[in-house]
Structure 1
Amino acid sequence: MTSPTNDSTALVSEFLLICFPNYQAWQHWLSLPLSLLFLLAMGANATLLLTIWREAALHQPMYYLLSLLSLLDMVLCLTVIPKVLAIFWFDLRSISFSACFLQMFIMNSFLTMESCTFMVMAYDRYVAICHPLRYPSIITDRFVAKASVFILSRNALTTAPIPILTARLHYCGGNVIENCICTNMSVSRLSCDNFTLNRIYQFVAGWTLLGSDFILVFLSYAFILRAVLRLKAEGAAMKALSTCGSHFILILFFSTVLLVVVLTNVARKRVPFDILILLNVLHHLVPPALNPIVYGFRTKELKQGCQKLLQRGL
């Protein structure tokens, strides 16, 4: 598996993922809630996508953005959770060198794509509530197409150097990753080289992308709240607050969990490492399970479309 050469791919041909190194005995029990959450996430997102695709009345910009969010969620789940369950159930811990860095790229890029999608959706709600008469002319199919290209290209290009820098390191020692997934820091610590540049780039890129998205989301909902409080129609303010409030709470949850993961990485000597691993896994699973429920099925049109879909037997 290892040999004293200068080629990193020859030095290490595969890694071994060790989930919860201090609690190996109970990880089988953890697989049950994880598998249920995985089925919920995949089923809810697939149902939402089918509903939007089959119902012509839902072919609108807001629902296209929901579809994009569901696609991102499904890819994130499929990238992480099946491998975690394979480790728990069948002890399939090995992952090839290329597969590990492909997983790292998808995780980094798609998490930031999801954050960026939240930002575009917050802007969509801002225009709908603060400028309702201009909404049809601003939020168009062309706007969604341009926004989608921006979301995919910005985050893929910015996060691509992270796995590239990590793959260029020399791995001449151990190949055991103390994690369920190929995170940048977990893999980099196995290298024989200095990975300071790698760490700095991830820190700067991550906080630039996620920080700017969160600031714009916060500003959008601040303007929405100001506009809602001025509504005089009976029940209009409560209806708008109910819808946007649930969206903002979900975005806050996404950002808070991510912040906890980052902080526990910084303070990893003070926090049990198994807690950090569990947070990493849950962050790729809980938001995908909640997003279609909070964003999608609380919408009247989507509820009706889903009922029609189920009545037709898909």
Structure 2
Amino acid sequence: MSPETLLKWHIANGYNAVVVSDHNTINGGLAAQEVAESEEYAGKITVIPAMELTNCRVHMNLVGINETIDYAIKKWPTDDDIRKTIARTHELGGIAIINHIPWSNTTEYGYEQPRMQNHPSREMLVDMGIDGIEIANGVTLDTISLKFVQDHNLIVITGADVHYPDSNAFSWTILNTNGNRTADNILAQLKARRSSFLFDPTGTQPLAYPPENPLYFRTAPPTLLGQYLQMFWIDKSGMYSFIPGAGTCHEESFIIRWSLIGYFILWVFIGFLIFEAARLVLVGCCWGPYQRRKRYLKKKMLEEDV
């Protein structure tokens, strides 16, 4: 989504402030802040710029900063890289929030490994200097992290993690700003651990469904054919690293489904036989009698002429 569409989505779903982050860059957050400060959106919503650090070990929001912090923008950052990232975030006046731990630790499909391999434990993250943990992400409420946050006096915060405009909103971080909805005051309230949250597993209704793009239909046939042909192989890659040129976080493999190709050829042959049988029936039942009657009428006309 564009920064403006993102803000429209949040306003429509009851938010009056939002942390906007993009993968490994602050640019998206700053762009959204610029839109929020325009005349059209002034007073409607406050944007706190952030960067979502994303790699093969951890996803972490660096909230309230104004530059891209690149110590850990690498496929496999060390613990020291993560510490430096958090320290620099604090130097810039921001806070470091660990994102969606349940999602990160879920087994990656096709592998007996989590999505984020070697993800630091909650205790390790506290030692590294994190300020809080995202206790709700989309439809998931992380009760284990909620208890941990409460026990360790960390910041309670939720995340929409919205990527498409036809998404529901499930959670809201609640702060008492006393009418002062500036980014600085919101950040100060978070640092003071004065946040709570609302979680609704049903989500907001109704949704906004974007119209179909008619230009899509111009390329749909070859595109769909290409998707169909993808059944003949498995491109096993695992979780994307979000690091340009670094590939994925899991071992990649390319498997050709020779048996499926064989069965496909068999069914093409069966289809050909069915077509030929149908053609013979059609010729025998329709075309043959038609030709015989045609010859009969022609012969009769010749006899009459004689």
Alignment TM-score > 0.5, same fold: no
> Going by fraction, where is helix more abundant, 1 or 2?
1
Give the structure with higher Rg (CA).
2
With the length of structure 1 as denominator, give the TM-score of the two structures.
0.20
Bigger RCO of structures 1 and 2 (CA < 8 A, at least 6 apart): 1
